[in-house]
Amino acid sequence: MCQTDAEFRAFYAGDFRDRSPAAVQGVVDRSKQFAKDCLERSGDLVKYLNTDQAVRDMDLFRSLLGVQKISYYGPSYATWLGAYYATEFPQHVERAVLDSNEPFAQTWQQAELGQPMSFQRRFGQDFLPWIAKYDSVYHYGSTAAEAQSTWEARRRALHDHPITIGSLTIGPNQLDNATLQGMYNADQQWRGLASVLAALEHWNTATQAEHQLVQKTFANYLSPGFAATFFPVTCNDTPWDRDLDYWIRQSAKDTTKYPLVGARELAYTATCVYWPESDAPRVKVTGKGLPPTLMLNSVHDPATYYEGAVRAHKALRGSRLVTVTGGGDHGQYQNGNACVDGIVDAYLLSRTVPAHDTTCPTKPLPLPAQGS
């Protein structure tokens, strides 16, 4: 563990959109402290927390199980893990499904630079029109522009007057976090997020059930445990630009253009700026020696942006890309899409591989929450 709960709450303190010199320096200082705490409290362990080491652990498990080849399914970061395993141990791969793909043929720096655009696209082009469609339920605005205005007004209000529930403080950064987390899966998360946003608009008269939903939503995002694994992997695996001034300039641009995630960019990248140089091996994904691999991605995936998935697909020779058109869920297999499930099941059960890249339509967007 790198930090306690209280220390990690400080990592998200304030307002990441504040670009005043004092606020920017505060973000940098807290990122530097996080990196320092990881090194002091974990010792030499942190340098071994990388994807190459995880790949070698995987192959050890394979060997202990006494099997020559494995079949692999991995979503999100596990696509990076699977692609590296397939590159380093292609002789032990029978089948592989990579779902919602990180740009594993590139660097973590490039992966994180793509997320502000893709989260903003999912929020602006998908979620806001959806919540506006149900203005009679959520009262958030009858157009996407009105819903955006309501959300921004609430963020400004939280900047000036954060909401406190027990030990939990809900400020602008917390609103960003809850919103971006809600972008991952429409059916599972949009109704809950919309109900939370609606409750914040009448907080003084919110019901006990609404208070509980808000508390659960805002207490559930990131933890010190997650950060203690996320940052070592992303900072260790691939090289980072160590020029802090570059990241201050870049994050200012992304804060303006893609504020939902661009605002936190400096906090994340500055952590890797202060991370020690890694000796993790540089792995180049090629697909050499592999059977055909199946890749899945939606066009508006917020976390693993489609443009990066396409580049990963081109690097992984012999792979087939299943594009889910018109949708943006993160994680496609067993997500209620019969087209996707049919392709993956045929591949895993009978080795049937699509003759070429193909598409599946997205599933319908959810109806609003009942009783809101």
Out of 218, 237, 258, pick the residue that ends a domain.
Answer: 218
Burial class from Cβ neighbours inside 10 Å (0-12, 13-18, 19+) for residue 5 reads: exposed
Tokens of 273: 């700026």
For residue 221, pLDDT over 80 is answered with no
For the chain, give the mean pLDDT. Answer: 96
Q: Does one domain contain both 34 and 182?
A: yes
Let me know if residue 267 belongs to a domain. Answer: no
Farthest CA pair distance, the chain: 62
Q: Name the helix (H) or strand (E) containing 322.
A: strand 320-325
Q: Does one domain contain both 177 and 137?
A: yes
Instruction: Give the integer Cα–Cα distance in Å for 309 and 114.
Output: 11
Q: Does one domain contain both 190 and 100?
A: no
Let me know if residue 306 belongs to a domain. Answer: yes
- Angle between helices 108-122 and 306-315 in degrees, nearest 10: 140
Percent of the chain with pLDDT over 90: 92
Burial class from Cβ neighbours inside 10 Å (0-12, 13-18, 19+) for residue 167 reads: exposed
Out of 195, 218, 241, pick the residue that ends a domain.
Answer: 218
Across 65-147, the runs of DSSP E, i.e. the strands, are 70-76, 93-101
Q: Does one domain contain both 319 and 341?
A: yes
Domain count, the chain: 2
Q: Name the helix (H) or strand (E) containing 119.
A: helix 108-122
The residues, any chain, with a CB within 8 Å of residue 306's CB and separated by 6 or more, are 118, 297, 298, 299, 300, 323
Q: Name the helix (H) or strand (E) containing 321.
A: strand 320-325
Out of 161, 188, 218, pick the residue that ends a domain.
Answer: 218
Least reliable range by pLDDT among 2-6, 179-183, 211-215, 351-355:
2-6
Q: Does one domain contain both 87 and 202?
A: no
Helix (H/G/I), strand (E/B), else coil: 125? helix
Let me know if residue 248 belongs to a domain. Answer: no
Let me know if residue 228 belongs to a domain. Answer: no
Residue 260's nearest CA partner among 128, 75, 142 is 128
At 161-190, the pLDDT tens digits run 999 998 889 999 999 999 999 999 999 999
Q: What confidence category does residue 371 fall into, taking pLDDT thresholds of 50, 70 and 90? A: low
Residue 220's nearest CA partner among 185, 260, 264, 170 is 170
Q: Does one domain contain both 157 and 25?
A: yes
0.95 exceeded by pTM: yes
Instruction: Tokens 């979503």: give the residue.
Output: 75
Tokens of 198: 């609606």
Instruction: Give the integer Cα–Cα distance in Å for 177 and 179.
Output: 5
Residue 170's nearest CA partner among 223, 217, 205, 226 is 217
The residues, any chain, with a CB within 8 Å of residue 149's CB and separated by 6 or more, are 141
Let me know if residue 280 belongs to a domain. Answer: no
Instruction: Give the integer Cα–Cα distance in Å for 96 and 105.
Output: 16
Q: Does one domain contain both 88 and 181?
A: no
Average pLDDT over residues 224-253: 96
- pLDDT score recorded for residue 339: 98
At 85-96, the pLDDT tens digits run 999 999 999 999
Angle ∠(310,72,74) on CA atoms, nearest 5: 50
Let me know if residue 197 belongs to a domain. Answer: yes
Let me know if residue 258 belongs to a domain. Answer: no
Q: Does one domain contain both 189 and 291?
A: no
- pLDDT score recorded for residue 223: 86
Q: Following CA atoms 241, 242, 244, 248 in sequence, which dihedral angle do they give, to the nearest 10 degrees?
A: 20
The residues, any chain, with a CB within 8 Å of residue 218's CB and separated by 6 or more, are 165, 168, 170, 174, 177, 178
Q: Does one domain contain both 113 and 171?
A: yes
Burial class from Cβ neighbours inside 10 Å (0-12, 13-18, 19+) for residue 23 reads: middle
Let me know if residue 97 belongs to a domain. Answer: yes
Q: Does one domain contain both 187 and 295?
A: no
Q: What confidence category does residue 372 fall into, taking pLDDT thresholds of 50, 70 and 90? A: low
Average pLDDT over residues 299-315: 98
Q: Following CA atoms 88, 89, 91, 97 in sequence, which dihedral angle do they give, to the nearest 10 degrees?
A: -100
Q: What confidence category does residue 30 fall into, taking pLDDT thresholds of 50, 70 and 90? A: very high
Q: Does one domain contain both 292 and 181?
A: no
Give me the count of residues in the chain. 372
Q: Does one domain contain both 95 and 10?
A: no
- pLDDT score recorded for residue 43: 80
Residue 192 structural domain: 5-43+109-218
